[in-house]
Amino acid sequence: MVGDRTAGERKIAWAQSHMPVLGSTRARFEREHPLQGRTLSAVLHVEAKTAVLALALRAAGADVHLAAGNPLSTDDDVVASLVAEGIDTRARKGESTAEYTAAVQALLQFDPELIIDDGCDLVALAHTARADRGRILGSTEETTTGVHRLRALEATGKLRFPAINVNDAQMKHLFDNRFGGGQSILDGIFSATNLLIAGRTCVVAGYGWSGQGLASRLRGIGGEVIVTEVDPVRALEARLEGFRVLPMKEAAPAADLIVTVTGMREVVAEEHFGLLKDGCLLANAGHFDVEVSREALLRSSVSHRTVRPQVEEFVLANGRKVYLLSEGRLVNLAAGQGHPVEIMDLSFALQALSTEHLALHAAQLQPKVYRVPPEIDRRVAEAALPAFGIRIDRWTDRQREYATSWEMGT
């Protein structure tokens, strides 16, 4: 075991003390044990906040098995602490693709009833490695890319069990993707490079929720931001937010930093490398390491070397040097510490409650992609208010009546 168990315990305790929404769910789980005796396999980024979720699920009665959502996102100290706690955790920072795949396969071999996925790798395996759904009652999905994959399975009639799309819950994407991503992507870039953003031209590829959060934060610290998009509505949205919008071929020559947040492959590819300025930083914050093609970068380079942890220098054929962060993997988790704790409190409370929903209501659910039930979204929002020190007004009876009246205005 490479990690330090005591350091892991401290990291988990810090996260736990800032996760009151999941904490109150856990307190109820301890009383009610809604997952008693259930086998649960989760492929998630194994770091402190995830450990708080895993412990809450165990407190609910589940037999929890955990593997990494990405070979570089694991915190080995947290793994050591979870293993000492008796939670089967199969993850190591920097693990090979073979180790990663073996861990996901092992999680399926436990014959889970419940799955929590981040990127859909475990659900995909459950559809390819077996002839039927086994005991699986259903799964929940954390991230945009995973939801795309689930929808593709559903559209071809292949989805074998209900899957809850946690990503698109209001209490997830409005906060996790935008505010969590906005902060944690910067955290990763800062930690990897220690370089200044102010006065630099930053290209954000993709203006979804994460891209929006990132673009506004880069601007907030003095970056000049250019957005690239394929969606006309989002492109217009970015323009009216005050960002320049350009095709990548025109944005690339101006860039000091390019961050991809698209979910698409080869967003920065061979055709762009020769256009880049000397010193340009390249980072990816989309789920898979396909957005900036490292393979293509290697092919286009005369040499490459690691110049700092998480920073590889590529010398291109034209003599210019460009720098790829975290091998093109999720920079916010590989070089940074993932989304801020308070944000993951909301996302993981949704995960815990959606998993409970599956355990309790699977018999009424079809093999479809489901939204998080609105009452769960609402419950998390209500619990988040005191956690964030927010008090709000409530409608009076007269106002409630007015709101549902066709005679509004009188």
Helix (H, G, I), strand (E, B) or coil at 186: helix
Cβ–Cβ < 8 Å for 42, 89: no
Cβ–Cβ < 8 Å for 205, 268: yes
One DSSP character per residue, 257-307 reads EEEE-SS-S-SB-HHHHTTSPTT-EEEE-SSSTTSB-HHHHHHTEEEEEEE
Residues 227-256 vs ligand ADE: string with x where CB under 6 A? ------------------------------
44 binds ligand ADE (CB under 6 A): yes
What angle (nearest 5°) sits at the alpha carbon of residue 225, between those of residues 224 and 228?
150
User: Which is nearer to ligand ADE, 75 or 256 (by Cβ)?
Assistant: 75
Tokens 């069990």 belong to residue:
161
* Positions 316 through 335 that interact with ligand ADE (CB under 6 A): 333
Cβ–Cβ < 8 Å for 137, 161: yes
User: Which is nearer to ligand ADE, 301 or 351 (by Cβ)?
Assistant: 351
Residue 88 CA to residue 79 CA, distance in Å, equals 9
197 binds ligand ADE (CB under 6 A): no
Q: Is 258 left (phi over 0), alpha (psi -120 to 50) or beta?
A: beta
Indicate the residue whose CB is closest to ligand ADE. 338
For ligand ADE, the binding residue among 25, 39, 50, 81 (CB under 6 A) is 50
Residue 60's closest CA among 29, 82, 20?
29
- Using CB under 6 A, which of the segments 81-89, 91-99, 338-346, 363-371 binds ligand ADE? 338-346
What are the residues whose beta carbons fall under 8 Å from the beta carbon of 400, sequence distance 6 or more? none
Paired with 203 in beta bridges are 226, 258
49 binds ligand ADE (CB under 6 A): yes
Measured over all CA atoms, what is the biggest interatomic distance in the chain, rounded to whole angstroms? 75
User: Which is nearer to ligand ADE, 77 or 142 (by Cβ)?
Assistant: 142
For ligand ADE, the binding residue among 71, 263, 286, 338 (CB under 6 A) is 338
- Using CB under 6 A, which of the segments 39-47, 222-230, 317-325, 377-385 binds ligand ADE? 39-47
339 binds ligand ADE (CB under 6 A): yes
For ligand ADE, the binding residue among 22, 39, 47, 258 (CB under 6 A) is 47
Cβ atoms < 10 Å from Cβ of 246:
16
CB of 18 to ligand ADE, least distance (A): 13
11 binds ligand ADE (CB under 6 A): no
User: Which is nearer to ligand ADE, 184 or 301 (by Cβ)?
Assistant: 184
Element (H, E) at 26: helix 20-32
Alpha-carbon separation of residue 54 from 38, 49, 351 (angstroms): 13, 9, 11
CB of 380 to ligand ADE, least distance (A): 16
User: Which is nearer to ligand ADE, 48 or 376 (by Cβ)?
Assistant: 48
For ligand ADE, the binding residue among 19, 126, 344, 358 (CB under 6 A) is 344
* Positions 125 through 184 that interact with ligand ADE (CB under 6 A): 142-143, 184
Size of the site for ligand ADE (CB under 6 A): 13
77 binds ligand ADE (CB under 6 A): no
Interface positions with ligand ADE (CB under 6 A): 44-45, 47, 49-50, 118, 142-143, 184, 333, 338-339, 344
